[in-house]
Amino acid sequence: MANDTELPVRTLAAPRRAAKRKRASTARRTRAPDQTREAILRAAVAEFAREGYGGARVDRISKAAKSNDRMLYYYFKSKEKLFHQVIEHCYADLVASEEALDLDFSRPRQALAALVAFNWNYYWAHPELLSILASENLFKGRHVRNNIRRSFANTQLGMLERVLQCGIERREFRPDCDRFHLYLSILSLTYFYRANLYTLSSYTQIDLADQEMRRAWLAHVQAMIEDMVKRKE
């Protein structure tokens, strides 16, 4: 009698295991293309950042992504189109990080200082962006036109505009400051130091990567930017 009761259990268990394996196999097939594309893109970011556009090699990207050249060309068509996607990826990450900022607009001076600090800290955390933008400037910016340019600028300028408007309404900021010049000033003062870190350190004989130097420069930039917008009594 024991065998009579056990047989149906085993008979039912086998189809369940087969169905489970089939679902897992289907899930793997569904995930694999996205995972492969993402792996290639991540490897390409590192390769273009390290070698520049001219020095980057497709075979090294494929190898780093644990993929092959055929899959790279399947997803990205060409080295140049892959580079375009790399720039889009870097900009998208920057925009998403900025949009995630939790600024206190009821305290516009502190919000403006936080926006300056965000740019400064982002460049230190993502040096690959600086290298990739240096390559893109050799192309005279042809890959960052249109949708990339609009999405990036709208986010940056939109958040800055909101901070400034709150400061004006609270009579902390002057209403006649040039928004675009302020925007360029923030980017320039945070970007230039980091992008030229090694040559500037050599030229000045000062270790500009030193934590105290970095803190001092950030405080200096924040004071400069606030002075540009604060209301003169």
At 18-38, the pLDDT tens digits run: 556 655 545 444 447 789 999
Cβ pair 96, 155 in contact under 8 A: no
- Span 43-71, pLDDT tens digits: 999 999 999 999 999 999 999 999 999 99
Q: What is the pTM of this model?
A: 0.81
Q: Are 217 and 194 in contact (CB under 8 A)?
A: no
Rounded Cα distance, 53 and 143, in Å: 12
Residue carrying the six token digits 């998403």? 96
Q: In whole angstroms, give the CA distance from residue 67 to residue 101.
A: 35
Q: Is the torsion defined by CA of 163, 223, 226, 190 positive or negative? A: negative
